[in-house]
Each structure stands twice: as C-alpha cells, then as structure tokens.
Amino acid sequence: PEHPVALGRPADQALDEEACDWIRAPDLLTDAECAAPWAVGLDVNMAFAAAANRLVVGLGEALHTDGPRFDKRLPGSWYVDLSHLALDPRLPNPFTPAGTRPEGPAWYTTPTVAYAAELGADVRPLEAWLRPESGPYLDPWYERLRDAYLATMADLGVTKDLDDPAFLAAMAAARAGEPGPAAVLSAIKATVKGGIGKLRERPQGLRHRPGDRWPALDRPTWRPDIRAAVIATARVNMHRKMSRMAAAGRYPIAVLSDCVVYPGPGPSPLDVLPRTPEGRPVPGAFRLGVSPGMVKLEGVRELWWAAELLEQGHNPARHIKDGTRDAGE
C-alpha cells in the first residue's frame, strides 16, 4: 500500500480487490477437453462499466466497527475469513485476484462478501469499515458511456437486434470498418479504464518518496474503495457466469480480467456457449450480444497452443486476441 497512512502495513491488511488473472492447472484438464481442437476466447463488453451500473457505493465517511453482522446493503470493507469455502478447482476462486484459495482472513469489499454468502459461506466479519450514507453514484457516468458505446457500435453496423450468427458476422465486419467510429470506440473504452483508474491514482514521477503525499490524495474523487467495489463486482459477475457455464459442463482454462478462454469443438463462440433443450441461451451464462455485460469473440487459437502456454505458466487469455506469444517462447 502506497498511502502514507498505510506505510509499513502488512500486505494481508490491505484491500486487494483486483481483476482475475488465473490459469487452470494443466493436470485438471480432462481427456475430452484435451481432445478439443480449439481454444475460444470470450470478451465481456464494457465489463467494468457494466459492473458500475446500479452499484451502491459510499457517499459519506467510513466508520469502523468490530464484530459486525454482515449486511450486503452496506458498502465498505470487511475483514473476514473466506478460506473455509471449498470450491471447484476447475474454476478460479472468486476471492483472490490470482484465483487461488485465500489463506486466512483478509479485507474484502461488500460485493465479494455478498457473493461468498451467496455461495454458502458462513460469513462472520471480524471488523469492518462501512459507509452507511450511500447511493448509485456512478450511474450517470455509466449511462452516458453505455449510450455512447451502443451508438458507436450501431455506426459500425452492430446493433442489439441481431441474432447470434448475425452478431458475430457484424463484429467481424466492424473490425475492418470505418476508422472514425473505431477511434470513438477506443476513446470510450479508454474513458472507462481511465475513469476507474483515477479513483486510485498512484504517485507519479521519480521524485516521489514512500510515505510522501501526492496531489491525487487531495481530490474528492480519490476513492480507491469505489474502484475496489467496481472491480470486485466485475470479478464476481464473471465467476457467477462461469459457474452457470460449469453447470452445463463448460469449464474455462484461463481468465484474464474480462476475457475467459474455453476449449471448444469448433472455432466459434457458438461452439462453447451452452443452450437449453429449446435452443435458447442458458440463463445466467455468458451470452453473445453488443450490450455491456454480454460477450463477443476475443480470439481463437488451436488448443495445443493454449495447452503449451498453460504448461509454461503463461495465461492464454492474455495472448489469444493477437497470438503474440507463441508456445515455446
């Protein structure tokens, strides 16, 4: 922790809500998965913006309390032990950025602890910093960016009314579309990333010394707790959808932030996204579409390529879009 107040604080006493960066242990891949010819990467549209939608965050001062009863309506940070919850090792653990099981008590935001309770954890916080005065502070920001994103995607020929094959075709065409809308789209995505990042702007420049303050700390918008809640919500949303996929027999081999990679019998998302007996998308699982929170194709490579990266300890989700890392590098 770089904040002057936190100087020298043990790492396990810091709030560590970051995006997931996880690979499945190669020995947990089944024979059927290894026989699949393709690794298909899915990317969640505007994942962090979608996580900010209707997210209740603190608006007032944080208050400390010992031994509180968990209340998912209260935004804040909770010190609680979630290491006792046994989860499927074929999925990332949702309570740590590395997707590994926690080793003991740690600080978590309300969205993470609420998800632990949803999964059946016996949630007994030891202490908490809570902000009773709260509200959906980020909603106007999200709505403007959502509207801009959808309008720009429509300019690129990708609209909300497309069925799955038409959506995939439109997305493929959009990649080679007009440079103007593409530049606007990049600016919208950068605004989301930059906006979330500014909530925890770190020291800049070589002159900074540990323990010194820096200008961002004096701004009312320096709110690392809000950033943590957004990232935690995005990570929880991903895990919830991966769990629904797992219930249909689909398990990821890698996750990086808003990208998840699945082994598939074919090179299309249609080959990995499960359907109901009626042919509809499985409720709660990933769904193709242009709206924030839905998914598109991130990239596809041969499964042997992904498997070799797993063996080397590299994350295929980091490279599946452009294949910049070859197996064996």
Residue 321, domain member (yes or no): no
Which residues span the domain enclosing 75?
57-135
121-142 mean pLDDT? 97
Instruction: Confirm if 163 and 185 have CB atoms less than 8 A apart.
Output: no
Query: pLDDT value at position 53?
Result: 98
Residue 251, domain member (yes or no): no
Q: Which long-range contacts (CB under 8 A, 24 or more apart) does 86-92 make?
A: 87/119, 88/246, 89/24, 89/25, 89/28, 90/24, 90/28, 90/246, 90/251, 90/252, 91/239, 91/242, 91/243, 91/246, 91/251, 91/252, 92/20, 92/22, 92/239, 92/242, 92/252, 92/255
Residue-wise pLDDT for 154-195, tens only, equals 999 999 999 999 999 999 999 887 889 999 999 999 999 999
Domains held by the chain: number: 1
Residue 27, domain member (yes or no): no
Instruction: Confirm if 80 and 105 have CB atoms less than 8 A apart.
Output: yes
Residue-wise pLDDT for 243-255, tens only, equals 999 999 999 999 9
The type of residue at 20 is: C
Residue 292, domain member (yes or no): no
Percent of the chain scoring above 70 in pLDDT: 98
Residue 189, domain member (yes or no): no
pLDDT of residue 260 exceeding 60: yes
Q: How far apart are CA 253 and CA 263, in angstroms?
A: 7
Give the residue among 325, 273, 248, 263 at the shortest CA–CA distance from 29. Answer: 263
Query: pLDDT value at position 210?
Result: 87
pLDDT of residue 2 exceeding 70: yes
Residue 92, domain member (yes or no): yes
Structure tokens, 168: 């995939």
The type of residue at 51 is: A
Residue-wise pLDDT for 261-310, tens only, equals 999 999 999 999 999 999 999 999 999 999 999 999 999 999 999 999 99
Q: How far apart are CA 129 and CA 186, in angstroms?
A: 36
Query: pLDDT value at position 328?
Result: 41
- Reported residue count of the chain is 329
Q: How far apart are CA 26 and CA 226, in angstroms?
A: 35
Residue 290, domain member (yes or no): no
Structure tokens, 131: 């902000």
Q: 313 phi and psi, to 5 degrees? A: 85, 15
pLDDT of residue 325 exceeding 60: no
Q: How far apart are CA 302 and CA 40, in angstroms?
A: 9
Q: How far apart are CA 39 and CA 265, in angstroms?
A: 9
Residue 84, domain member (yes or no): yes
Give the residue among 176, 149, 178 at the shortest CA–CA distance from 52. Answer: 149
